[in-house]
Structure 1
Amino acid sequence: MTINNTETYELEYNEIKQYISCRYVSPPEAFWRLSEYKLYGQSHTVYRLALHLPDEQQVYYRPSEQRQAAARTEGRDTQLTACFKLNQSDVDARANLYIDILEYYVFNKQSNTWTRRQRDRQIVTRMYSTSPRNTEKFHLRMLLLHVPGATSFDDLNTVGGEELPTFKDACIRLQLLEDDNKLQMALSAADVYQMPRQLLNMFAMICSFNTPQNALHLRKDNKHRMIEDLLRK
Structure 2
Amino acid sequence: MAVFSVQSENSDRNAVRDIDEIAQYQAGRYISSNEAAWRIFSFPMHERNPAVVHLGVHLENGQYVYFTDANVQQRALNTPGTTLTAFFTLCKENAFARTLMYSEVPSYYTWNVTKNVFVRRRRGEPVDGQPSIFRENTIGGLYNVHPNQDECFVLRMLLVNVPGPRSFQQLKIVDGVTHAIDKY
- Taking only the aligned residue pairs, the percentage that are identical comes to 29
Q: How is 1:83-232 mapped onto 2 (pairs within 5 angstroms)?
A: 83-120=87-124, 121-166=136-181, 168=182
In the TM superposition, residue 58 of structure 1 has moved relative to its aligned partner by 1.0
Q: Residue 82 of structure 1 corresponds to which residue in structure 2?
A: 86
| 2:71 corresponds to which of 68, 72, 81 | 68
| 1:51 corresponds to which of 57, 81, 85 | 57
Would you say the 8 A contact 2:67–2:75 is kept in 1?
Answer: no
1:42 aligns with 2:45: no
Question: Hey, which of these two has a bigger chunk of strand by percent?
Answer: 2
Q: How many residues align?
A: 144
Question: Residues 138, 20 of structure 1: CA spacing in aligned structure 2 closer, same or farther, 3 A cutoff?
Answer: closer
- CA RMSD, 1 decimal: 3.1
| 1:75-108 deviations in Å (ceiling 9; x for gaps) | 4321111111111111111000000001111222
Letter in 2 for 1:44: P
1:23 aligns with 2:28: yes
Unaligned runs of 5+ in 1: 1-17, 169-208, 211-233
Would you say the 8 A contact 2:65–2:79 is kept in 1?
Answer: no
In the TM superposition, residue 40 of structure 1 has moved relative to its aligned partner by 2.6
| 1:134-166 deviations in Å (ceiling 9; x for gaps) | 000011000000000100000001111111111
Partners of 2:139 and 2:148 lie apart in 1 by 27
In the TM superposition, residue 19 of structure 1 has moved relative to its aligned partner by 8.3
SS of 2:71's equivalent in the other structure is: helix
Would you say the 8 A contact 1:82–1:114 is kept in 2?
Answer: yes
- Larger RCO (CA within 8 A; separation ≥ 6): 2
Partners of 1:150 and 1:61 lie apart in 2 by 29
Give the alignment's TM-score, normalised by structure 1.
0.53
Unaligned runs of 5+ in 2: 1-22, 39-43, 125-135
Partners of 1:148 and 1:77 lie apart in 2 by 20
Letter in 2 for 1:112: N
Give the alignment's TM-score, normalised by structure 2.
0.66
Question: Hey, which of these two has a bigger chunk of helix by percent?
Answer: 1
Would you say the 8 A contact 1:59–1:70 is kept in 2?
Answer: no
